[in-house]
Chain A
Amino acid sequence: MSLRHNKNLKTMQDFLLIIRTEGDVWTSLSPEKLQEHIEKGTDYIGKLMKDGKLKSAAPLANSSRIVSESNGLIKDGPFNETKEVIAGYFHITARDIDEAVDIAKANPIFKDIPTKIEVHLMRAIGG
């Protein structure tokens, strides 16, 4: 088994990729299209894994809530009122933000679903 992280650990940085889509887009795909979409996604993630670039990735369930403070009161409520949802996240390693952006661009999700991917550099200790 060789799911190893990239050997050049020193020069690698961690990035958080947040995948934003719209809530009901999945239901608009035909079963065949959905199957195809899943397969392409599996290949994409598998390649990141093999290259040692993927730390973790997961979809989010749609039960998100948001906790906020207002007038000294901390309250929680539904995550958002708009159609946009966070479909999931990728925690990856890349040499720099350009490589991280390239990785995000290669995500096959763009071919099937209106998507935005945020690419955030995670600040490391001493970074």
Chain B
Amino acid sequence: MQDSLVEAMKQWTYKGVPENPSAWLFKVAKNKALNVINREKYKRQYSSDVVHYMRSEWTAEPAMNHLFSEKEILDDQLRMMFTCCHPSISKDSQVALTLKTLCGFSIPEIAKGFLTTEENIKKRLVRARQKIRENKIPFEVPGGKDLDARLEAVLETIYLLFNEGYSASHGNDVVRYQLCEEAIRLSEIIASHESLNDKFNVYAILSLMYLNASRFKARTDNKGRILTMAEQDRSLWDGLLMQRGFFYLEKTTTVENISVYQILAAISAHHCAAADFESTDWKGILSLYGSLVRIDHSPVVLLNRAIAVSKVFGVSQALDELEKIKDDPTMASYHLFYSTMAEFYTQTNQFQKARNCLQKAIDLSSLEAEKDLLTEKLRACINK
């Protein structure tokens, strides 16, 4: 009734006193109650009790203990993840929002990580918050049938975040490594959560990220030049991260299931397990690519598969494979397609063709360190 009085006062000042104040008050009270019920339905689960508990000497401490217990914090983070990665929010905004709210990154740091302006990041965050409001996205982990689809979206965002950090395309190394660490940390939170039954893909993505991250520091030399897998000093690979990667890969094998993340993790594991580039189990890798192609028949997968083909069946067969995808628009503008072609041409002493491909790769590459690497190769090719 208090509420309806306040409402009435507001209305009366603007519109004058209605003819039948008490009937009107009753109607307002009813509408208010309905509003409250509707609001409750979507309310974030921050209970109003908490405020109340905090005011009493007997309940403040237990309430604090409860709220700050590790489990509660983890639960909250998980809920927050599902809110940040809601499908109605664009992927760009999801990643920005996750970094801001869950990883505590500042706007300048996020801008640095994505090589974009702070203004741009602010816009993404505003748009994300708008979506949360407009769609009344509840602060919760979805249940039942929704969970699988939503978990997939969360993992996709996490993987995007990881790759932002892992891909050598741009940005500051320290910040990029942090992005990788955060992606792993968020996945660990999901993995540790009791209420999720099917964690197959969570384990798979964790395995993939740990195994790839284990090579992070070996991917450039001390001058910042990018090193290929063949050139990397394997003693710099991080054994501890690798171990975690193998641990999670093992966990994915206990269920009869298969996913892109799992196959990619298994391929990464083959690289990690090899003493050097040449002794890599290329047959094993090729057969994994076979499984991967059946799920994801994209030219990028076929390009990577070609490297394994070259090791198992020889370079000329690998070149044939690449011929098949050379007209694909993604490949025609992809520097790694041309640098791979160039590598194959060099190995078969077709230096003119190799030079042409290297030139295209240099033109298409956007990263200085990569251009330098390719230019060096081009120079070596000219002398032959």
| Residue A57 CB within 8 A of the other chain | yes
Bound-complex Cα distance A50 to B49 (A) = 12
Our pick among B47, B57, B72 for the contact of A59 (Cβ within 8 Å) is B57
Residues of chain A in range 43-83 having any CB-CB distance to chain B below 8 Å: 43, 45-46, 49-50, 54-59
A54 near B59 with CB under 8 A, answer yes
B347 CB within 8 Å of chain A: no
Q: How far is the CA of A92 from the CA of B61 in the complex (A)?
A: 18
Over the window 34-71 of chain B, the binary record of Cβ atoms lying under 8 Å from chain A Cβ atoms (1 yes, 0 no) is 00000000000111011011011111011101110000
Q: Is A9 an interface residue (CB 8 A)?
A: no
List A contacts of B55 (CB < 8 A). 58
Cβ-based interface call for A1 (8 A)? yes
Q: Which residues 3-37 of B have a CB within 8 angstroms of A?
A: none
Answer whether residue B109 sits at the interface, using C-beta atoms and an 8 A cutoff: no
Q: Does B76 have its Cβ within 8 Å of any Cβ on chain A? A: yes
Which residue in B50, B57, B61 is a CB contact (below 8 Å) of A1?
B50
Residues of chain B contacted by A56 (CB below 8 angstroms): 52-53, 56, 59
Is A124 part of the contact surface with B, judged by Cβ < 8 Å?
A: no
- B65 engages A46 (CB within 8 Å): yes
Contact B50 A57 (CB under 8 A): no
Cβ contact within 8 Å between B72 and A45: no
For B53, list chain A residues within 8 Å (CB).
3, 49, 56
Residues B59 and A57 in contact, CB atoms below 8 Å apart = yes
Is there contact, CB below 8 Å, between A1 and B59?
A: no
Pick the contact of B72: A1, A5, A57 (CB < 8 A).
A1
Considering the complex, give the chain A residue whose CB is closest to the CB of B50. Answer: A3
Interface string of A79-117 (1 = CB under 8 A from B): 000000000100000000000000000000000000000
A59 to B57, CA, bound (A): 7
Give the complex CA separation of A2 and B49 in angstroms: 10
A39 to chain B, nearest CB (A): 10
B156 on the A face (CB < 8 A): no
B99 CB → nearest A CB, Å? 22
B58 touches A1 (CB 8 A): no
From residue 303 to 353 of chain B, which have CB atoms closer than 8 A to chain A? none
Q: Give every chain B residue within 8 A of A57 (Cβ-Cβ).
A: 56, 58-59
Question: Which of chain A's residues have a CB closer than 8 A to the CB of B46?
Answer: 1
* Most central of B47, B62, B75 by chain A CB within 10 Å: B62
Assuming the contacts A1-B50, A56-B53, A58-B57, asked whether A42 and B62 have C-beta atoms less than 8 A apart, the reply is yes
The answer to whether B58 touches A3 (Cβ under 8 A) is no
CA–CA, A3 and B46, complex, Å: 8
Q: How far is the CA of A43 from the CA of B63 in the complex (A)?
A: 10
User: Contacts A1-B72, A3-B53 given: A45-B47 contact, CB under 8 Å?
Assistant: no
What chain A residues lie within 8 Å of B49 (beta carbons)? 3, 5, 55
Among residues of B, the one whose C-beta sits closest to the C-beta of A87 is: B58
- When distances are taken between beta carbons in the complex, the residues of chain A under 8 Å from B45 are 1-2, 4
Contacts of A4 in B (CB 8 A): 45, 47
The answer to whether A41 has its CB under 8 Å from any CB of chain B is: yes
Closest to B79 in A: A1
Interface string of B63-105 (1 = CB under 8 A from A): 1011100001001100000000000000000000000000000
What's the nearest-Cβ distance from chain A to residue B378, in Å?
Answer: 59
In the complex, A43→B56 CA distance in Å?
Answer: 15
- From 151 to 193 in chain B, residues with beta carbon under 8 angstroms from any chain A beta carbon are none
CB contacts (< 8 Å) of A46 on chain B: these are: 62-63, 65-66
Which residue of A has the minimal Cβ distance to B73?
A: A1
| A42-B72 CB under 8 A given contacts A3-B53, A56-B56, A57-B56 | no
Contact of B58 among A5, A43, A50, A58 (CB under 8 A): A58
Assuming the contacts A3-B47, A58-B56, asked whether A42 and B66 have C-beta atoms less than 8 A apart, the reply is no
B47 touches A1 (CB 8 A): yes
**Cross-chain pairs A/B with CB under 8 angstroms, 24 sampled:** A1-B67, A1-B72, A1-B76, A2-B45, A2-B75, A3-B47, A3-B49, A3-B50, A3-B63, A3-B66, A4-B45, A43-B62, A45-B59, A46-B62, A46-B63, A49-B62, A49-B63, A49-B66, A50-B66, A56-B59, A57-B58, A58-B56, A58-B58, A59-B56
Chain B residues engaging chain A, CB cutoff 8 angstroms? 45-47, 49-50, 52-53, 55-59, 61-63, 65-67, 72, 75-76
What 3 pairs across the A-B complex have the smallest Cβ distances?
A46-B62, A58-B56, A45-B62
Question: A residues bordering B, Cβ < 8 Å?
Answer: 1-5, 41-43, 45-46, 49-50, 54-59, 88
Instruction: Apart from A45-B58, A46-B65, list 18 A-B contacts with CB within 8 A.
Output: A1-B47, A1-B50, A1-B72, A3-B49, A3-B50, A3-B66, A4-B45, A5-B49, A43-B62, A45-B59, A49-B63, A49-B66, A50-B66, A56-B52, A56-B59, A57-B56, A57-B58, A59-B58
